Amino acid sequence: MNAEEFDHILTETLDDYRLSRSEKKVLTSLLDPSSMDDQELAFYRSRVFDIARHEVPGPQAFAVLKWVEDVMKALQPKSEKSDAINSEAYFSPSDDCVTKITGLLRSARREIDICVFTITDNRISKAIEDAHQRNIKVRIITDDDKSNDLGSDVDRLSQSGIPVRFDRTSYHMHHKYAIFDSGKLLTGSYNWTRSAATSNEENFIITDDRKLVSNFNKQFESLWKSLE
């Protein structure tokens, strides 16, 4: 669609100073905002304001501005319409990392899925046990070799009644992520160990990006079933 055709459609929708549902459908079907880049969207949005600018000085100024608002919403990509994604980044050595992990474990209300290379930090292990005792559904996937290391808390967690599944290959289960209530993801290089908090250069992010959470959920379920 060229600018002239776009202007013609907009002018027709402006006749009654409202964007009806059918007009909105026609507009978005002819001009798919999700397929455009920022520059193209900016151009078409500017045309909306150019048309409105000629009408604003008149007696129908308020109605024209409401029309502009409705058209802007119709031209907004779906990704922009959805709720904002909340993400945070954490870096070690720092106890902030442990504090954030244990805080997420304590705030979980339904379920926690943990897929980590090893667990040796007693502060994290205690928070996992506490969650289990609150009747939170906790599942752990970890590496079989690392579970035998001195200081590993995995056996203790398993003996407390938490379902634990081990990688049984000659390679390592090297993931380091956790999913909380199927809505929040923690992932990064950070090992759940005391040395990660006190000495190592590590990182993790926490995000509620639904697409990422869904991808990690699917991966966890697939790995969990494969280790039955």
Torsion of CA 85, 90, 95, 96, to 10 degrees: -30
Does residue 163 contact residue 140 with C-beta atoms inside 8 Å?
Answer: yes
Judge residue 203's burial from the number of C-beta atoms within 10 Å of its C-beta, 0-12 exposed, 13-18 middle, 19 or more buried.
middle
Q: Which residue has the tokens 């059918």?
A: 22
What is the residue whose two structure tokens read 């928070």?
Answer: 127
Compute the distance between CA of residue 226 and CA of residue 228 in angstroms, rounded to an integer. 6
Catalytic residues: 174, 176, 181
Say if residues 224 and 139 touch (Cβ distance below 8 Å): yes
Bond from prior residue into 93 cis (ω within 30 degrees of 0)? yes
Burial of 98 per CB tally in 10 Å (0-12, 13-18, 19+): buried
Helix (H) or strand (E) holding 112: strand 111-116
| β pairing state of 202-207 and 87-92 | antiparallel
